């Protein structure tokens, strides 16, 4: 069956990683700066250690909070900061901006998306990310939001790759079948195996790897 839709992973695929050690340093610096507003002094090594289990820490998925906001709230509470919901959300909105500066739009992304859209191909994103407002902001700032017919972020839909449910959800948003959809991603398990288990064809796109071959895949009968 001829392909009529392409779903992309975001980080490591449409966006290429740069110096991630510096990216996380900038994030830790933002946390330290925010803690100082509460009179709490923490060194960067102390912040780094506090964040070591940040992404795996159990949460309750509280209504009205993203996973990221909830984890930040736990971190600030652990440090003794009584942070309000409004302050927490305001901090979450910009706290990853420095981190994002070390991650850039793939040099072929704009040309590829333009070409696919011109061919009438349905386009979507499926990404595991714990703060969906950051994803929407990043897409807007890189001027690529308008290309996508579906944007599926794990923190917003409460589903995650590699589970089939998130791929099925994205296909429903696109109004496309798995057989006519290609998934492009960099993670062998979460992206490639997950999409294959959902019945899609796949394209492995390690960070910075050329994306233009996707156009040739769509030309194949």
**193-216: average pLDDT:** 92
Same domain, 167 and 67: no
pLDDT value of position 219? 76
pLDDT digits (tens, 9 = 90+) for 130-168: 999 999 999 999 999 999 999 999 999 999 999 999 999
Which pLDDT does position 218 carry in this prediction?
Answer: 82
In this structure, the answer to whether residues 149 and 92 fall within a common structural domain is no
In this structure, the answer to whether residues 118 and 95 fall within a common structural domain is no
Residue 1 has pLDDT above 70, yes or no: no
From 55, 85, 100, the end of a domain falls on 100
- Answer yes or no: do 129 and 88 share one domain: no
| Predicted confidence (pLDDT) per residue in 78-100, tens digit | 999 999 999 999 999 999 999 99
What is the predicted pLDDT for the residue at 221?
Answer: 64
Whether the CB-CB separation of 7 and 192 falls below 8 Å is answered with no
Q: Do 162 and 201 share a domain, yes or no?
A: yes
pLDDT at 99: 97
**Claim to verify: residue 117 and residue 196 sit in the same structural domain:** yes
179 and 211 part of one domain: yes
Residues 54 and 10 in one domain: no
What pLDDT score does 199 carry?
97
Among 60, 83, 100, the domain boundary falls at: 100
- What is the model's pLDDT at position 163? 97
Average pLDDT of the chain is: 95
Residues 54 and 124 in one domain: no
The structural domain count of the chain equals 2
Give the pLDDT band (50/70/90) at residue 118: very high
pLDDT at residue 206 greater than cutoff 90? no
Per-residue confidence (pLDDT) for residue 156, from 0 to 100 = 95
As to burial, measured by CB atoms within 10 angstroms (0-12 exposed, 13-18 middle, 19+ buried), residue 48 is middle
173 & 193 share domain? yes
Question: What is the pLDDT at residue 187?
Answer: 96
pLDDT in tens, 20-77: 999 999 999 999 999 999 999 999 999 999 999 999 989 998 899 999 999 999 999 9
Tell me the average pLDDT across 187-195.
Answer: 97
Q: Residue 212 corresponds to which tokens in the numbers above?
A: 């233009």
207 and 123 together in one domain: yes
Contacts of 119 (CB under 8 A, 6+ apart): 218
On whether both 152 and 50 belong to a single domain, the answer is no
The last residue of a domain, from among 100, 126, 159: 100
* CATH number (domain holding residue 196): 3.40.50.1000
Domain that holds residue 131: 5-17+104-219
Q: Annotate the chain with DSSP letters as a single string.
A: ----EEEE-TBTTTEEE--HHHHHHHHHHHHHHHHHTTT----HHHHHHHTTTTTTS-----TT--HHHHHHHHHHHHTT----HHHHHHHHHHTTHHHHTTEEE-TTHHHHHHHHHHTT-EEEEEE--S-HHHHHHHHHHTT-GGG-SEEEEHHHHT--TTSHHHHHHHHHHHT--GGGEEEEES-IIIIIIHHHHTT-EEEE--TT---THHHHHHH--
């Amino acid at each position: 069956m001829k392909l009529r839709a392409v779903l992309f992973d975001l980080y490591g695929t449409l966006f290429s990683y740069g110096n991630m050690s510096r990216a996380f340093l900038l994030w830790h610096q933002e946390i330290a700066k925010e803690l100082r507003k509460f009179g709490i002094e923490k060194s960067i090594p102390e912040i780094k250690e506090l964040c070591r289990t940040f992404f795996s820490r159990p949460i309750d998925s509280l209504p009205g909070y993203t996973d990221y906001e909830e984890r930040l709230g736990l971190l600030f509470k652990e440090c003794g900061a009584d942070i309000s919901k409004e302050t927490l959300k305001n901090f979450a909105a910009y706290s990853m901006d420095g981190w994002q500066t070390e991650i850039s739009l793939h040099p072929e992304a704009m040309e590829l998306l333009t070409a696919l859209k011109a061919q009438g191909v349905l386009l979507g994103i499926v990404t595991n990310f714990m703060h969906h407002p950051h994803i929407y902001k990043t897409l807007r700032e890189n001027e690529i939001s308008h290309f996508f017919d579906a944007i599926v972020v794990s923190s917003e839909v409460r589903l995650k790759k590699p589970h089939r449910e998130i791929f099925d959800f994205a296909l429903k948003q696109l109004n496309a079948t798995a057989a006519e959809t290609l998934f492009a991603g960099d993670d062998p398990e979460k992206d490639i195996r997950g999409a294959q288990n959902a019945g899609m064809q796949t394209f492995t796109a390690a960070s910075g790897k050329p994306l233009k071959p996707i156009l040739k895949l769509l030309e194949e009968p």
